[in-house]
Amino acid sequence: MISNRYNKSASEFNQYDYYSVSELYITDNKELIYVAKTDQYIKFDDIEIKEEIKDKFGKDPYDDSRMRTINDLTIVPKNGGVIIHDEEQCWFLKYDSVAKKVFPLIRINFKINKGQMVLTKVLSCLDPNLIALDFVKDYTHHLIIVWNLKENREMQNFSTSKEFFHVNGPRSRAGFLLNGDTYVNLDTGLINYFFEYEFANQGFYDQK
């Protein structure tokens, strides 16, 4: 299927991939996202995105003679696009898979003091307008901020020093944090001590 999408035989695709750094993702909406880090472009299905991300991420902090590229940053796929981030900044590249349209790169407007905390992960929510930002202080304290990409503003936040899992579940746009013997609906940021849902059948992954 992947080889057919890119008009390559399996051997051609594998050979190309062997000589380059690339990442391949499939979103919940079955969008195929190919990130060619060596060649500096992102491909949504058959639409190649290069100019929209060229020289958009500032200068390399270790070499101010060059601009940072997607090869220097972390890519997180989500429904409707990709998140691109480092420890201090975050961007959203929105893509409409029906209209085959790429929107201008959006910088997420949060502000942090890197000496106090850093952005370590971005959690992808099922709602295409939402992400959850995981900021860490002193290696153990997590501040989870639910961010509305459409309005570019904070919606909710929750703090924890416990190990947690992020789970997409019923009646939640942003998902749930399973946090020890409690859980948090990130739509509200409130702890719930009584499990109303069967999370065992939901996909989850460890955030540590």
Instruction: State how far the Cα of 45 lies from the Cα of 25, in Å rounded to an integer.
Output: 10
Q: Report domain extents, the chain.
A: 1-107, 117-208
State the pTM of this model. Answer: 0.81
**Predicted local confidence at residue 6, as pLDDT:** 56
- Residue in 121, 159, 164 with CA at minimum distance from that of residue 142: 159
Residue for token pair 């057919």: 4
Residue 200 has pLDDT above 70, yes or no: no
114 to 38, 89, 122, 137: CA distances (angstroms) = 28, 10, 16, 9
Read off the tokens for 81: 């696009």
- Residue in 40, 43, 42 with CA at minimum distance from that of residue 55: 40
Can you spell out the DSSP letters for 83-146? EEE-SS-EEEEEEETTTTEEPPPEE------TTT-EEEEEEEPSSTTEEEEEEEETTTEEEEEE
Q: What is the pLDDT of residues 172-198, one digit of tens each?
A: 999 999 877 788 999 998 888 766 656
